Structure 1
Amino acid sequence: MAEEAGALKVAAIGDLHVKADGTTSYKALFGEISRAADVLVIAGDLTDLGKPAEAELLAEDLRACTVPVVAVLGNHDYECGAVEEVSRILRQAGVRLLDGQWTEVDGVGFVGVKGFVGGFGRAMLGSFGEPAIKAMVAESVSEAMRLENAMRQVRTERAVVVLHYAPIAETIAGEPLEIFPFLGSSRLAETIDRFPVRAVVHGHAHRGAYEGRTPGGVPVYNVAQHIEKPTGCPYALLTI
């Protein structure tokens, strides 16, 4: 993205998977990001098993971050059924944890939902058959609607959408085809393309591809820390 007056430098990373054993520290990385960017965005899976102890470790590491932190949760953050406690810990640490809301940082709106599964394009799962299938599709539709409702609240000219699940198939290319339906949903992209969005970031697909675009042309970046990025670092650096 080209530099422009008042541009915001966004460092984006996903899938930290902080473990309770404390074997991995992100303090040095967060310090580096604070020198390179104006805001840190974390695209879900902040913890490995959704344990409050993992959230506490991340909160401690985030003390090294001196820029605003915007995040969404991922599927791993729900694993232990302690999502409310995990969310409380992270918010108390200053994280702007988005779940169907938006927040503003220096004139840029950040809109966040976790997203959900469902598949892409003609292969997208439809609401037909067993109640379990209908419930899955209803959750996917609900996340897209929550994203739309949040987008309607944005009052800035520039907006970034933060997801965990992918909105397009292009940025999960490299993952096994068999699991594509579980990595995201086109419903998210359909919603995004109805609004003036500058960029989308997501994680979840550790073996996916870095960059793609929605059908409407919005740039999408898979920022899972495992993905090779132009920075050569675990995080992407975007200018918005």
Structure 2
Amino acid sequence: MNKPFVVAQISDLHLKADHKLTYGVVDCLGALRRAVDHLNASQPRPDIVVISGDLVDFGRPEEYAVLGMELARLHMPFYLVPGNHDVREHLLAEFAQHAYLPINARAPLDWVVEEHPVRLIGLDSTIPGQHGGQVLDSQLLWLDAQLSRRPDVPTLLILHHPPFITGIGHMDREPFINAAGLKSVVARHPQVERLLCGHLHRPMQRRFGGSISCVCPGTSHQIVLDFQESAPAHFNLEPAGYLLHHWHPQQGLVTHNAVFGEFAGPYPFYDADGLID
């Protein structure tokens, strides 16, 4: 198959059920609706969407009910991993029809999807009731076994928490637990093309275990980019964004950073006299 395969990644939806503005400022529901409309109207349209956690804001059943209705408008399959704002039990109850998800809410929601040109592995990095991320030793054994099964198939790992320090002080106060173990597993499996993460509400990239870890911006609000150790935990309303991962069997995987919204253009690269700059 020589056709490109395009994966859209969105993250950190923080959806509420009561239509209130998050922090009195952010319209997370409106932002998600704009994101869905944008992806549906894209030409060419992405083949699938992966959503890298913090699907809702408080993990409540009524929030997942709103989320389910909004995501049902997508014209392509979508796949979910939880974030630290999610509650496994309520997520599974709303998305019970998603056969790739496990049924046990008392264990990490790890999964594998084999039906696409790029293999997808969801890794649950949440610690129930806590902000930071981790992978358990048992998860690493499972991941190593899954990757060993199909060493020749390009693979994306999707998890919420990036397994590295960013330099944004308030987001680094709870470092990823067992990052070294995850790095060791990834390093043994060169077919891992990317680790697709969220949580940080900013686009970031870092080498990790011979692969690349990509952090997706938020669909609504972004973390302020401030490297001062004393920087407070602030957000801003920079343009909402997403990532497009473009796979081609001969050319490999290229990741593009994109923004939601409508902007002036497109314009041709020549002036009114037909001269190319």
Two-structure CA RMSD over aligned residues (Å)? 3.1
Tell me, in whole angstroms, the C-alpha distance in 2 between the residues paired with 1:19 and 1:137: 23
Q: List aligned pairs for 1:2-17, cutoff 5 A.
A: 5-17=2-14
Q: List aligned pairs for 1:184-203, cutoff 5 A.
A: 185-195=179-189, 196-203=191-198
Q: What's the offset of the Cα at 1:31?
A: 2.6
Q: 1:168 and 2:164 equivalent?
A: yes
Tell me, in whole angstroms, the C-alpha distance in 2 between the residues paired with 1:143 and 1:75: 17
What residue identity is the alignment partner of 2:113? T
Q: What's the offset of the Cα at 1:95?
A: 8.1
1:144–1:12 distance in 2 versus 1, CA, 3 Å: same
Q: 1:28 and 2:34 equivalent?
A: yes
| 1:102 pairs with one of 112, 118, 125 | 112
Tell me, in whole angstroms, the C-alpha distance in 1 between the residues paired with 2:199 and 2:171: 15
1:137–1:180 distance in 2 versus 1, CA, 3 Å: closer
Tell me, in whole angstroms, the C-alpha distance in 1 between the residues paired with 2:119 and 2:134: 27
Aligned partners of 1:43 and 1:203 also within 8 Å: yes
1:182–1:194 distance in 2 versus 1, CA, 3 Å: closer
Tell me, in whole angstroms, the C-alpha distance in 1 between the residues paired with 2:133 and 2:196: 23
Tell me, in whole angstroms, the C-alpha distance in 2 between the residues paired with 1:107 and 1:61: 27
Q: What's the offset of the Cα at 1:209?
A: 5.0
Name the SS for the 2:200 alignment partner: coil
Name the SS for the 1:87 alignment partner: helix
Segments of structure 1 that go 5 or more residues without pairing to the other structure are 118-135
The corresponding residue for 2:75 is 66
Name the SS for the 1:11 alignment partner: strand
Name the SS for the 1:235 alignment partner: strand
Q: List aligned pairs for 1:135-154, cutoff 5 A.
A: 140-154=136-150
Tell me, in whole angstroms, the C-alpha distance in 1 between the residues paired with 2:48 and 2:79: 8
Q: What's the offset of the Cα at 1:7?
A: 2.2
Q: In terms of mean alpha carbon deviation, does 43-52 or 144-153 score higher?
A: 144-153
Q: What's the offset of the Cα at 1:51?
A: 0.7
Tell me, in whole angstroms, the C-alpha distance in 2 between the residues paired with 1:148 and 1:27: 37
Q: What's the offset of the Cα at 1:221?
A: 0.6
CA-to-partner distance for each residue in 1:56-113, whole Å, 9 max, x for gaps?
A: 10100012201110111111113xxxx2232121243x58547222103432110011
Tell me, in whole angstroms, the C-alpha distance in 2 between the residues paired with 1:58 and 1:201: 21
Aligned partners of 1:165 and 1:183 also within 8 Å: no
The corresponding residue for 2:95 is 90
Aligned partners of 2:100 and 2:113 also within 8 Å: yes
The TM-score normalised by the length of structure 2 is: 0.64
Aligned partners of 1:17 and 1:47 also within 8 Å: yes
What residue identity is the alignment partner of 1:200? L
May I ask how many residue pairs the two structures share in their alignment? 207
Which structure has the larger Rg over C-alpha atoms?
2
Q: 1:114 and 2:116 equivalent?
A: no
What residue identity is the alignment partner of 2:19? G
Aligned partners of 2:160 and 2:198 also within 8 Å: yes
Q: What's the offset of the Cα at 1:154?
A: 4.5
- The structure richer in helix per residue is 1
1:58–1:29 distance in 2 versus 1, CA, 3 Å: same
CA-to-partner distance for each residue in 1:11-40, whole Å, 9 max, x for gaps?
A: 112211111213423233113223341110
What residue identity is the alignment partner of 2:122? G
| 1:219 pairs with one of 204, 212, 224 | 212
* Identity, % of aligned positions: 25
Aligned partners of 2:187 and 2:209 also within 8 Å: yes
Q: What's the offset of the Cα at 1:179?
A: 0.8
The corresponding residue for 1:239 is 246
What residue identity is the alignment partner of 1:198? E
Q: What's the offset of the Cα at 1:181?
A: 1.4
